[in-house]
């Protein structure tokens, strides 16, 4: 597995260009990017591999790769703003990668950018990081999340061995958000509609709980993830070492604030 090179606190940046976009549903758009800059992208083997996208204000007149240290020192108001996204797939041969963006309205940077993205637009990123990949030795697998976590869940389902068993529970706003998921026959998918966090927890609570060693991947909106953690650790007694769990976003918070709150009680999972 290759890891991105790091040097003196500077994360290398990869500068890509948008090649095409694909609408996957009313609230999801795939952006496929590549170009000469792809050569510096150092892939890893995590199915939840994620990157920090850097969004600069066009009015600041910056050219990527951005010298973040100099900007922090000399022009802090012009610092590009980071947004965290899963890399849905990487095609090394074609020198391309894809990111699936939730379209959540006009608020924000990344969602609206993806909605308007056109071939030739620039995409600047650092990373990838990552922490989870399905363990083929687990007795069964549990994957739970919302549309923001769907790219990571879909990548994990594709990476599972053909004889893997378990459950995925995915919450989407409406039935038209449901997408086809390639997966082993023994992996059942339950779709939960609406935005009620309790409904997602109820769907997980209603699953037939299998015995043995479960490996779980649980990510999504902060409120729902907190409830799910309580259920899985306190009620199901899941082994914490087998549980990948974190919030991907928080309702009513821009990512900068959401990330800052991870250091406060409200943001802790």
Ligand X SMILES: Cc1cc2nc3c(=O)[nH]c(=O)nc-3n(C[C@H](O)[C@H](O)[C@H](O)COP(=O)(O)OP(=O)(O)OC[C@H]3O[C@@H](n4cnc5c(N)ncnc54)[C@H](O)[C@@H]3O)c2cc1C
**Minimal distance in Å, beta carbon 253 to ligand X?**
5
CB 165 within 8 A of CB 184: yes
**Which parts of 85-104 interact with ligand X (CB under 6 A)?**
85-86, 100-102, 104
The pair phi, psi for residue 234, each rounded to 5°, is -80, -40
| Pair of tokens at residue 194 | 């609406």
* DSSP 3-state of 61: coil
- Identity of the residue, 83 or 183, whose beta carbon is nearer to ligand X in the bound complex: 83
**Which parts of 35-74 interact with ligand X (CB under 6 A)?**
50
The pair phi, psi for residue 39, each rounded to 5°, is -55, -25
255, containing H or E segment: helix 255-260
Q: Which of 78, 109, 179, 207 binds ligand X (CB under 6 A)?
A: 109
Q: Which of 44, 242, 254, 267 binds ligand X (CB under 6 A)?
A: 254
**Minimal distance in Å, beta carbon 100 to ligand X?**
5
**Minimal distance in Å, beta carbon 47 to ligand X?**
12
**Minimal distance in Å, beta carbon 221 to ligand X?**
7
Max Cα-Cα span within the chain: 57
Q: Measuring CA to CA, which residue among 138, 113, 139, 137 is closest to residue 33?
A: 113
Q: Does residue number 223 form part of the binding site for ligand X (CB under 6 A)?
A: no
Binding marks (x or -) toward ligand X, 137..156, rule CB under 6 A? -----------x--x-----
Q: Which of 63, 74, 77, 107 binds ligand X (CB under 6 A)?
A: 107
Q: Does residue number 249 form part of the binding site for ligand X (CB under 6 A)?
A: yes
Q: Does residue number 251 form part of the binding site for ligand X (CB under 6 A)?
A: yes
**Angle of helix 222-230 versus helix 197-205 axis, rounded to 10:** 30
CB 183 within 8 A of CB 206: no
- What are the DSSP calls for 2-53, one per residue? -----BTTBPPEEEEEEEEEEEEETTEEEEEEESGGGGG----S-TT-EEEE
**Minimal distance in Å, beta carbon 22 to ligand X?**
14
Taking the C-alpha atoms of 232, 89, 123 and 50 in order, what is their torsion angle to the nearest 10 degrees? 30
- Identity of the residue, 181 or 254, whose beta carbon is nearer to ligand X in the bound complex: 254
- Identity of the residue, 150 or 214, whose beta carbon is nearer to ligand X in the bound complex: 150
- Distance from the first to the final alpha carbon of the chain: 29
Judged by CB under 6 A, the stretch of 63-71, 183-191, 251-259, 261-269 that binds ligand X is: 251-259
**Which parts of 224-243 interact with ligand X (CB under 6 A)?**
none
Q: Which of 111, 127, 128, 166 binds ligand X (CB under 6 A)?
A: 111
- Identity of the residue, 197 or 255, whose beta carbon is nearer to ligand X in the bound complex: 255
| Pair of tokens at residue 2 | 């290759």
Alpha-carbon span 203 to 215, nearest angstrom: 18
**Minimal distance in Å, beta carbon 128 to ligand X?**
10
Q: Which residues bind ligand X (CB under 6 A)?
A: 50, 83-86, 100-102, 104, 107-111, 148, 151, 248-255
């Amino acid at each position: 597995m290759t890891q991105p090179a790091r040097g003196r606190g500077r994360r290398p940046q990869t500068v890509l260009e948008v090649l095409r976009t694909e609408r996957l549903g009313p609230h999801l758009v795939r952006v496929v990017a590549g170009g000469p800059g792809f050569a510096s992208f150092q892939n890893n083997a995590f199915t939840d591999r994620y990157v920090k996208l850097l969004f600069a204000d066009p009015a600041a007149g910056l050219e990527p790769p951005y010298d973040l240290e100099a900007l922090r020192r000399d022009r802090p108001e012009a610092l590009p703003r980071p947004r965290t996204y899963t890399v849905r797939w990487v095609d090394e041969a074609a020198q391309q990668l894809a990111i699936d963006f939730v379209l959540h309205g006009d608020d924000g940077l990344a969602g609206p950018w993806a909605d308007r993205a056109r071939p030739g637009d620039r995409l600047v990123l650092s990373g990838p990081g990552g922490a989870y990949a399905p363990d083929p030795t687990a007795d069964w697998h549990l994957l739970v999340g919302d549309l923001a976590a769907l790219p990571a869940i879909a990548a994990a389902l594709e990476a599972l061995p053909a004889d893997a068993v378990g459950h995925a529970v995915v919450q989407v706003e409406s039935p038209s958000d449901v997408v086809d998921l390639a997966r082993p026959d023994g992996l059942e998918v339950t779709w939960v509609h609406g935005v009620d966090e309790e409904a997602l927890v109820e769907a997980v609570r209603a699953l037939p709980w299998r015995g043995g060693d479960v490996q779980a991947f649980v990510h999504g909106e902060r409120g729902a993830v907190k409830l799910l953690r309580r259920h899985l650790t306190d009620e199901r007694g899941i082994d914490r070492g087998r549980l990948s769990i974190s919030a991907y976003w928080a309702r009513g918070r821009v990512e900068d604030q959401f990330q800052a709150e991870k250091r406060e009680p409200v943001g802790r999972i």
